[in-house]
Amino acid sequence: MAPLDTAIATRIVLSGYYGFDNSGDEAVLQSILLALEEQGKAQGVRFVPVVLSIDPEKTSRTYGVESVHRMKLGALFRAIRSADGLISGGGSLLQDETSSKTIPYYLTVLKIAQWLGKPTFVYSQGIGPVHRPRFYRWIRTVFNRCRFLSVRDEESKQLLRRMNVAAEIAVVPDPVMGMPMAAAHQVAEPLISAAPVVGVSVRYWNEDRSELQGLAESLRTMLDQSDAHLRFLPFHLPSDASASQYVISLVGDRYANRITVAADVTHPQHMLAEVGRCDMLIGMRLHSLIYAASQRVPMVGISYDPKIDQFLSRLNMSAAADTRTVDANALASHALNLLAHRRSWQEEKAHLIEALKSEAHIPAQQIASFFAEGRDVR
């Protein structure tokens, strides 16, 4: 293995939902960058990442990497042409639930790289839902030409198999499970008491806000029956900050001195630190739950999408509620019980969490191996 300072630089383009101030997707990017650096050093590969972002200047400033605009075709094409390979991932990139344009965009980026003769890698993606069968053949054609495919749950693998993707598919955890805490970060705004801290991650989902109304009722019950402090954690700015304030307004002024908000936290490792100081977390956002698991913070999941249930199942858990109906009393009872027995939860889940954290590095190991040894990783 060549010493890293003499290794030839390997330029690798990263395609994903980056630069949109979504803490979960930014955490995916940070996790992939750190994993590539670690695994590259271990195998004598010096990766030089080039990130496709909607806000290249901010991405470069935040992560210290090269970045180009994801929607400027000329810059994107030049970045891929000058690279040694391309990574697509992670997150839920190949889905048409939110837009019919999402799948064509990410497949086009992969296809450009393949047309230019660059090796392509799919990094721990969550696949689906894919409601439009016309995308199946396109996904199959592009994915079968990738050098390494990894998805974050068995359900994604089975969906690709139903599309007749024949390539080998590795099932690995979300890359964020492997993200370390930033050593130098200090969380600002110390809490006002030594009471247990319950993190709360919410988002808008139902048009009538019924899920947030049910959650607010649950939180009032928890505050009445415990000395807990609520710490709202907005993951996608500004919408989650607005949703947090909506729930806080429903909880009421009576509890104002026991509620705080982690305002304007955009760096993923800073949000990880916020989650890490919680004693328990109630979360709708997938990555709030992943952050909690990585820091051994007991969690209560509220499901709005199968990806929530799929992640919880890897910890032998299920969602305590879903957005179709929130039983406020049952949710509060479940959360209070978990808060009281959080040490037992940590002991019970420790081996599962450590396994997930270790497995999260597999895609980076495989990609580094490909460039270190010049061989197909399949």
How many whole angstroms separate alpha carbon 108 and alpha carbon 105? 5
pLDDT band of 156, cuts 50, 70, 90: very high
pLDDT band of 97, cuts 50, 70, 90: confident
pLDDT at 180: 87
Same domain, 272 and 287: yes
CATH of the domain at 10: 3.40.50.2000
How many whole angstroms separate alpha carbon 242 and alpha carbon 270? 20
* Residues 275-295, mean pLDDT to the nearest whole number: 96
Same domain, 125 and 203: no
pLDDT at 376: 45
Same domain, 145 and 210: no
- Does residue 185 lie in a domain region? no
How far is Cα of residue 283 from the mean position of the Cα atoms in its chain?
13
Q: What is the mean pLDDT of the chain?
A: 93
pLDDT band of 181, cuts 50, 70, 90: confident
- Does residue 378 lie in a domain region? no
Same domain, 108 and 49: yes
- Does residue 158 lie in a domain region? yes
For residue 38, give the nearest of 377, 277, 357, 374 by alpha carbon: 357
Q: Looking at the predicted structure, is the pLDDT value of residue 375 above 60?
A: no
- Does residue 55 lie in a domain region? yes
Q: Looking at the predicted structure, is the pLDDT value of residue 192 above 90?
A: no
Same domain, 202 and 96: no
H-helix or E-strand spanning residue 28: helix 23-43
Same domain, 158 and 48: yes
- Does residue 51 lie in a domain region? yes
Indicate the number of domains in the chain.
2
Same domain, 107 and 248: no
- Does residue 89 lie in a domain region? yes
User: pLDDT tens digit string along 114-144?
Assistant: 999 999 999 999 999 999 999 999 999 999 9
* Residues 139-165, mean pLDDT to the nearest whole number: 97
Same domain, 221 and 302: yes
Cβ atoms of 268 and 290 within 8 Å: the answer is no
DSSP 166: -
Cβ atoms of 235 and 287 within 8 Å: the answer is yes
- Does residue 307 lie in a domain region? yes
Question: Which domain covers residue 330, as residue numbers?
Answer: 197-356
pLDDT band of 378, cuts 50, 70, 90: very low
Q: Looking at the predicted structure, is the pLDDT value of residue 237 above 70?
A: yes
* Residues 69-77, mean pLDDT to the nearest whole number: 97
Same domain, 202 and 153: no
Same domain, 32 and 58: yes
Same domain, 168 and 208: no
pLDDT at 21: 87
Same domain, 96 and 128: yes
Q: What is the DSSP string of 235-299?
A: -BTTHHHHHHHHHHHHH-GGGGGGEEE-TT--SHHHHHHHHHT-SEEEESSHHHHHHHHHTT--E
Per the model's pLDDT, the better-predicted residue between 6 and 70 turns out to be: 70
How many whole angstroms separate alpha carbon 233 and alpha carbon 266? 11
In terms of C-beta density within 10 A (0-12 exposed, 13-18 middle, 19 or more buried), how is residue 114 classed? middle
Q: Looking at the predicted structure, is the pLDDT value of residue 60 above 90?
A: yes
Cβ atoms of 52 and 78 within 8 Å: the answer is no
